[in-house]
Amino acid sequence: MKKHFKALLPVLLLTGLLFGLSMTASAEDSKEGYWVQNGDRWWFQCTDDWYPSNGLYEIDGVEYAFDQWGYMVTGWWQDEYDNYYYFDLNSGAMQKGWVWDGAWYYMDPEYGFMYYDGYFWIDETSYLLRPDGSMVSGWYYYDYDPTDEWEGSWQYRNQNGTKYDGWLLDGGQWYYIADSYMVNNTAFSPGIYEETGDETAWIFDAAGHLVYGGWYWVTYEGEGGTWLLANADGTGYNGWLWENNHWYYIDNGYMINNTTYTAPDGYIYAFDGYGYLVNQEGWIWIGDSEYGFWTYTDGNGAVLTNSWKWIDGKCYYFGEYGNMYSNGTYMIDGVEYSFDHTGAWIQ
């Protein structure tokens, strides 16, 4: 029986998602021919003594690839645009959709080229594919931008490639995976993430391991960081802490430092850069070398708020958060008052 075939000419598409894609378009000419076997290889002989080679061709509605010698390709094949295709090992037919070859790969459902290196929405589900096209399952470090040390992240996916969500016990360590991303270097509340109403935070180290008790330093992107404090069960400490002759306040695992903070008793307290409660009367600067404000403590750690105070013969006003008013005119109890750059009231 004579076979009909069409040459499929590669045409360059616009860049799609994370990579350049190619497609095939049918040539106008259509020829007849038949398959010829040579050992364990096949080629297609056209009736006009011509045979397809070095490209994609459609024969009786099935897409095939032929190498430079005209033999039908099976397995993987790369076109001139560096797109990869996969052809059935027996029939040579182009495969589309999911393909298994030691790992799962996804081939474009219309044109057959392989998807790779990134996130892809397939059948209303998000999948992550490696640079070689293989589907990610289990642990995988995905580096969004190799030039930026902060851009990568560990992910964990189900064995079918879908996103994992929730607690994970692996290698004797507890992790929390949020929307496939490993939580690390933070105090994290699964209840807030899952919208259960439970605000309990858990402390995770840089490797994503749950921290069982003690202090843990978290480095922020770029510079700086903060101290976290975990209970023995891995939850974040909450409340006042007396340690090394200093008072600290820990809010859901985070040590309060270099700021004023409203404690459960309703008072606003000042904490220095080490997290120590400032429990002596006097001035304290809250902030860094560029931004911040002056406040004044009453000797018990609480700062003056919404009140006037005479200090060394000058009168100052402290706002809602203990911030000293300065260098401007402010409305206080319906009356305008002016303050110089030192914060002193200009009478």
In tens, the pLDDT along 105-124 reads 999 999 999 999 999 999 99
Query: Could you give the CA distance from residue 23 to residue 297 in angstroms, rounded to a whole number?
Result: 71
Q: Is residue 15 part of a domain?
A: no
Is 80 part of a structural domain of the chain? Answer: yes
pLDDT at 49: 84
Alpha carbon 36 to its chain centroid, in Å, reads: 53
Structural domain including 149 reads 106-183
Is residue 84 within 8 Å of 94, Cβ to Cβ?
no
Residue with the two structure tokens 């209303």: 124
d(CA 121, CA 174): 29
**Contact predicate 7/55, CB 8 Å:** yes
Q: Do 26 and 6 contact (CB within 8 A), yes or no?
A: yes
User: Within a domain: residue 194?
Assistant: no
By C-alpha distance, which of 289, 346, 296 is closest to 321? 296
Tell me, what's the pLDDT at 3? 56
33/240 Cα distance (integer angstroms) = 86
Is 227 a member of any domain?
no
Domain boundary among 183, 207, 225: 183
Residue 280 gets the label, from left (phi > 0), alpha (psi -120 to 50) or beta, of beta
- The answer, yes or no, to whether residue 19 has pLDDT greater than 70, is no
So what's the pLDDT on residue 222? 66
Residue 47 pLDDT level (bands cut at 50, 70, 90): confident
pLDDT band at 5 (very low <50, low <70, confident <90, very high): low
Same domain, 83 and 121: no
pLDDT at res. 100 = 98
pLDDT band for position 36 (50/70/90)? Answer: very high
Do 301 and 337 fall into the same domain? Answer: yes
Burial 313-339 (b: 16+ CB within 10 A, else e): eeebbbbebbbbbbeeeeeeeeeebeb
Domain assignment present for residue 257? The answer is: no
Whether residue 215 has pLDDT greater than 70: yes
Q: Residue 18: pLDDT above 70? A: no
Determine the 3-state secondary structure of 31 from DSSP. strand
User: Domain containing 328 — which CATH number?
Assistant: 2.10.270.10
Q: Does residue 245 carry a pLDDT above 90? A: yes
Question: Quick one: tokens of 47?
Answer: 């009736």
- Give how many domains the chain has, as a whole number: 3
| 316 lies in some domain | yes
Say whether pLDDT at 11 is over 60: no
Q: Give the model's pLDDT for residue 48.
A: 84
Backbone angles phi, psi at 190, to 5 degrees: -60, -35
Same domain? 85 vs 129: no
The alpha carbons of the chain give a radius of gyration, in whole angstroms, of: 34
pLDDT band at 10 (very low <50, low <70, confident <90, very high): very low
Percent of the chain at pLDDT > 70 equals 89
Residues 316 and 341 in one domain: yes
pLDDT at 15 exceeding the cut of 50: no
Question: Residue 237: inside a domain, yes or no?
Answer: no
> What is the bridge-based pairing of β-strands 214-219 and 335-339?
unpaired
* Banded pLDDT at 12 (limits 50, 70, 90): very low
Whether the predicted pLDDT of 187 surpasses 60: yes
Structure tokens at 333: 């109890």
DSSP string of 215-240? EEEEEPSSS-EEEEEE-TTSBBP-EE
Specify whether 70 is located in the same domain as 118: no
In our burial notation (b when 16+ CB lie closer than 10 A, e otherwise), range 15-45 reads eeeeeebbbbeeeeeebebeeeeeeeebbbe
Q: What is the pLDDT of residue 6?
A: 57
126 pLDDT exceeds 90? yes
Residue 190 confidence (pLDDT) above 80: yes
Tell which phi-psi region holds residue 298, choosing left (phi > 0), alpha (psi between -120 and 50) or beta. Answer: alpha
Q: Can you read off the two tokens belonging to residue 194?
A: 């899952």
Distance CA 115, CA 185 (A): 33
Q: Which two tokens stand for residue 132?
A: 């070689």
- Yes or no: say if 189 and 204 are a contact pair by the CB < 8 Å rule: no
pLDDT tens, residue by residue, 226-242: 999 999 999 999 999 99
List all residues 6 or more positions away from 14 whose beta carbon is below 8 Å from its beta carbon.
Answer: 21
Tell me how far apart the alpha carbons of residues 139 and 193 are, in angstroms, rounded to a whole number. Answer: 21
91 in the same domain as 69: yes
Dist CA 39 CA 147 (whole Å): 50
pLDDT (mean) for 42-67: 93
Tell whether the model's pLDDT for residue 139 goes beyond 80.
yes
Domain boundary among 183, 198, 215: 183
| pLDDT-derived band at 220, boundaries 50, 70, 90 | confident
235 belongs to a structural domain? no
Average pLDDT estimate for 141-166 = 86
Could you tell me the pLDDT band of residue 147, with boundaries at 50, 70 and 90?
low
Q: Identify the pLDDT of residue 21.
A: 35
- When pLDDT is averaged across residues 23-46 and rounded to a whole number, the result is 72
